[in-house]
Amino acid sequence: MPNNLRDYAEARLLRQTEPKIGDIRRAQEIGRGGHSRYIWHACQKCGKERWVLLFSAGKQKCLVCKDCCCHAHNMKRGKEHWNWRGGRTKQSNGYFLIKLQPDDFFYPSRNRQGYVFEHRLVVAKALGRCLHSWEIIHHKGNKYPVGSIENKQDNRYPKNLQLVMEGQHNQISILERKMELQAQRITLLEAEIVSLRRQLEQMVMERVR
C-alpha cells in the first residue's frame, strides 16, 4: 500500500477511535487542517473534553473551554456579542458559511465551529428538514459558469440549486467536465477553420497574380 494511502487509512482509524485524556495527535489525524499537534484535554472548570492546540514547547494553548472562558470574562457569544455581524462568512473557495445558534432548528447540521454551508441551509429550509450527510447540493450554473465563484455564491433554490445523491453528483460533475472539454475543443476547431480559410485565400490571391 502506498504511503499516502496508508497515512490516510491510519488517520481515518484514529478519528474513529475514542481519544483518552493526554492523547496527542496531528491535525490531519483529527480532521483538521495544518501541521500542528493537538492534545485531548479536559476543561479545568467544567470538565468538558476537547482537542487543544499544543505549542512547540509542549504547553497547551488553553486550559479552559470557550464557554468557561467567556463566562469568566462576562463575555457574550453569538447574536448577543457586541461585534456580531450576522454570522455570515466566506471561505477562500467562494462558498458562504452561516453561523447557527443552539436554539436553531437546523443546528444539528453544523460543523465543529457551528457553521453550515449557506447553499445547504437554503435547501434545508425549503424542504423543512435537515439534510443527510449523503445528500449533496449541486450548483447548476444556469447564470454563471460552473465552478466559478459567482456560481458558488448563487444560492437560489430551485433555480440554481439541485438536491442530488453523492453518486448522482459525481456523474453530473463528470458530464459537466466533458461538456467543458468539448466546448474548448470546439473553440480550437473554430480557430483552426479561420486560420485555414486565411491560408486558402492567400493561395488563391497568389494564383490570380
Residue 39 has pLDDT above 60, yes or no: yes
104 falls within a domain: yes
What confidence tens digit (pLDDT) does each residue in 40-60 have?
888 877 888 888 888 765 566
Res. 11 pLDDT band, cuts 50 70 90: low
159 falls within a domain: yes
* Residue 109 and residue 65 in one domain: no
Q: Which three-class secondary structure state does DSSP give residue 178? A: helix
Give 128 or 78, the one with higher predicted confidence.
128
Whole domain around residue 177: which residue ranges?
Answer: 88-209
Amino acid at 145: P
Written as one string, the DSSP assignment of 151-169 is: HHT---TTTTEEEEEHHHH
* Residue 43 and residue 95 in one domain: no
116 falls within a domain: yes
180 falls within a domain: yes
195 falls within a domain: yes
* Residue 7 and residue 57 in one domain: yes
Instruction: Compute the average pLDDT of residues 109-120.
Output: 88
What confidence tens digit (pLDDT) does each residue in 77-111 have?
666 665 666 788 888 888 899 888 888 888 888 88
Instruction: Compute the average pLDDT of residues 20-27.
Output: 82
Written as one string, the DSSP assignment of 78-120 is: GGGSTT---SEEE-TTS-EEEE--TTSTTGGG--TTSEEEHHH
- What percentage of the chain exceeds 90 in pLDDT? 4
Site of grid cell 453528483: 169
Measure the CA–CA gap between 16 and 162, rounded to whole angstroms. 31
Measure the CA–CA gap between 144 and 139, rounded to whole angstroms. 10
Q: Domains in the chain: how many in total?
A: 2
The reported pTM is 0.46
